[in-house]
Amino acid sequence: MIETADFTCVLYAVADHIARITLNRPQRRNALNPRAYAEIEAAFRHASADPDVRCVLVTGADPAFCSGEDVKEMMTADRPPETERTRRVTFAPTPAAMAAIDCTKPVVAAVNGPAVGWGMELALYADIRIASERAVFAELFIKRGLVCDVGGFWKLPSLVGPAKAAELLFTGAPIDAAEAGRIGLVSYVTPHEQLMSRAETLARDIAANSPLALGYMKAGLRKVTAGDPAEIGAWAIEIIYRLFETEDHREGVRSFLEKRAPVFTGR
């Protein structure tokens, strides 16, 4: 596991029993590359293992929370040969996703700007979401010819209802902070300059409580969420690997890079 002192894409600090995880690639709108995914995983695992941490606060360096994967760096990079991928017999869920989901401490997301693609997934993994008025949410995967990660399947329906979740996943349409508040995706919407103050106050209120009781409280809430996130996440990754081979996915990437609407053919 990467040590926090070696982080380059994420800022990690612990104070007053709160672990603060800040995505820190502002020049790329906090888009994710392999290093960023690894550091997010490590940050949540460090927070889970640290007895001094009672609450986790995750946010992004302005102007974005997280704009999803760095398409130029990841989706257009050389991938393993097709035969190597298709020989894969078992699939595992995204490690960063499971580190966030399995975090034993309450997680608050302070969504300070766009949270799209895997950025929206990261917000979904939190127990509580607070949004700046500048926040935008979108499950953009369908626009790239892909499916979402585990958050869209496992968490989103329980937050906004199955029909609204289906609408967001099937269309990939963005919603603003006010709509996110209206449908229950976020608990509060605040003026941008008040976001971190509100989130830190909530994190302090949580951290002031018994760490033992907090852990059991979170475990209890996990039990009432339907499905096994590891199983759902592994299935999602298998489907994503299959979709990587399709012309629709390649068209989704091309259209993004060429800044035009995709034209999908079902191939």
Distance between CA atoms of 123 and 180, rounded to whole angstroms?
12
pLDDT at 75: 56
Position 10 in a domain? yes
Position 81 in a domain? yes
Position 46 in a domain? yes
Position 67 in a domain? yes
pLDDT at 100: 98
Q: Structural domain of residue 36, as residue ranges?
A: 4-190+224-257
Position 230 in a domain? yes
pTM of this prediction? Answer: 0.94
pLDDT at 163: 98
pLDDT at 1: 85
Position 204 in a domain? no
Position 127 in a domain? yes
What are the distances in angstroms from CA 5 to CA 2, 8, 46?
8, 9, 12
Position 55 in a domain? yes
pLDDT at 77: 53
State which residues of the chain have pLDDT below 70.
75-88
Distance between CA atoms of 220 and 106, rounded to whole angstroms?
12
pLDDT at 38: 98
DSSP assignment of 24-43 equals --GGGTT-B-HHHHHHHHHH
DSSP assignment of 57-109 equals EEEESTT-SB--B-HHHHTTS----HHHHHT-------HHHHHHHT-SS-EEE
Distance between CA atoms of 4 and 41, rounded to whole angstroms?
11
pLDDT at 84: 52
Question: Cα dihedral sign for 121, 122, 123, 124?
Answer: positive
Q: CATH number of the domain at 154, please.
A: 3.90.226.10
Q: How many domains does the chain have?
A: 1
Distance between CA atoms of 261 and 26, rounded to whole angstroms?
26
